[in-house]
């Protein structure tokens, strides 16, 4: 079977130009085939609105919107949170256990949360995400009823993404997904992806 050809560069160039005119969009990343488009957004932008506008931009550029898959991510250094991320700290013990501490700030007060796991890149990402959840519960003073399903680093295009999957118990139950560009600090990205997933929930809790 012949390999799939890349999408014509004139098509991606035209679509890129139109996408970059969308308010709230910072940059655009195409995968190798040109079929998957990552929209790198500033935090105040609505993901659903961006995808709707991206589909309209594709149509305006003379392309079939259904021929593209649009994904929205936020760069970690552009996240503007109600709960502001401060830093992570990592402590390694002699028995190969790793403790990760995540610090958050809310209204000038710093809060921290801890989690302990084994040494190893994949496990430490999950530990950092669990520490972020612990910090959020400390900050809000209540259990969030959120279970960490998993954390993954995905290199799908020419960028590294950190994706967190959460499950929130309730009526109805919620499956929540948060993603950010990984950057230089994977533990920081894991914590920020948790905040990204819970942004709306946190807003409701903190503004009561």
Q: pLDDT per residue over 51-98, tens digit each?
A: 889 999 999 888 888 888 888 887 655 544 467 889 999 999 878 899
Alpha helices in 64-176 (DSSP H): 121-140
3-state secondary structure of 118: strand
Domain(s) labelled CATH 3.30.160.270 in the chain stretch across: 78-206
What share of the chain has pLDDT > 90, as a percent? 33
Q: What is the pLDDT of residue 45?
A: 62
Beta strands (DSSP E) in the chain are 25-30, 36-41, 69-74, 84-92, 97-106, 109-118, 146-155, 160-168, 174-181
CA distance 161 to 147: 21
CATH architecture type of domain 78-206: 2-Layer Sandwich (3.30)
Q: pLDDT per residue over 142-192, tens digit each?
A: 888 899 999 999 887 778 889 999 998 876 778 888 889 898 899 999 999
3-state secondary structure of 156: coil
Class of the CATH domain delimited by 9-74: alpha beta
Q: What is the pLDDT of residue 80?
A: 45
Mean residue pLDDT of the chain comes to 83
Domain(s) labelled CATH 3.30.70 in the chain stretch across: 9-74
Q: Is 91 exposed, middle or buried (0-12, 13-18, 19+ CB in 10 A)?
A: exposed
Ramachandran area for residue 145 (φ above 0: left; ψ -120 to 50: alpha; else beta): left
């Amino acid at each position: 079977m012949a390999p799939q050809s890349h999408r014509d560069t004139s098509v991606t160039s035209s679509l890129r130009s139109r996408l970059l005119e969308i308010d709230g969009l910072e940059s655009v990343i195409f995968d190798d085939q040109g079929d998957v488009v990552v929209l790198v957004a500033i935090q105040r932008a609505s993901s659903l609105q961006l995808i709707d506008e991206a589909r309209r931009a594709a149509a305006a550029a003379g392309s079939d919107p259904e021929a593209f898959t649009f994904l929205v991510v936020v760069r970690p250094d552009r996240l503007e949170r109600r709960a502001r991320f401060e830093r992570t700290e990592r402590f390694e013990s002699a028995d190969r256990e790793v403790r990760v501490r995540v610090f958050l700030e809310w209204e000038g007060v710093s809060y921290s949360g801890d989690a302990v796991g084994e040494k190893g890149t994949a496990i430490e990402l999950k530990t950092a995400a669990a520490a972020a959840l612990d910090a959020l519960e400390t900050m809000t003073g209540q259990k969030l009823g959120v279970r960490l399903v998993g954390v993954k680093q995905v290199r799908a295009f020419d960028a590294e993404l950190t994706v967190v999957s959460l499950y929130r118990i309730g009526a109805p139950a919620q499956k929540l997904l948060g993603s950010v560009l990984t950057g230089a600090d994977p533990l920081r990205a894991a914590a920020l992806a948790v905040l990204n997933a819970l942004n709306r929930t946190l807003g409701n809790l903190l503004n009561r």
